[in-house]
Structure 1
């Protein structure tokens, strides 16, 4: 189970880092039209948190449906017990991972001068 979680974490971090890095030209364009670094980073954090909230609700819903079907077949009851502390810990770990995987590449992308980053070919 730990290996599956580790591979999933690597895939999520890799995807978020690549998508943020690929947007470096867009981020530079935002800087050219007047956005500050702080505003761009805040926008990226809000995007990440929005994706996280949607993912948590979708993942929880899918998991509850799957667990209720499994529970009904195994015990006759559709109610599953999910430890609240464990659930909160998983969400907190995923949120921290997602925010770090977005913030670090964004900070690196924002280091370049906006005019040079917009003019660079990708």
Structure 2
């Protein structure tokens, strides 16, 4: 083998070693430049569930609304909302989502009759829960 060819081969191997390690030095050229497949994954859609500990309570009697938060980070606060007329109004009842993805909120209601409640975090809301206040 001629000296110039040997120097060229050593140079190519040295550059390949510096650029990508020993595997790149001995890989076929097609393996060096093959594109890495990219897989796009959509973020999980956030969901909330809600269940009241009682369906009928006395005025200002404490009860809990608990549930699971899927796709919502631990520590994020969820807020109880009450339907008043045609609007949903946030109540001063909040709780953080814990590390296992669940939450529990203490609630007291004074509006007598059937109250429609839900739990929300940002644009994500739970299904409606009904609690009757006597």
Q: Which has the higher contact order (CA 8 A, sep 6+)?
A: 1
State which structure, 1 or 2, has the greater radius of gyration over its C-alpha atoms: 2
Answer 1 or 2: which has greater strand percent: 2
What TM-score do you get using the length of structure 1 for normalisation? 0.20
More helix, by proportion: 1
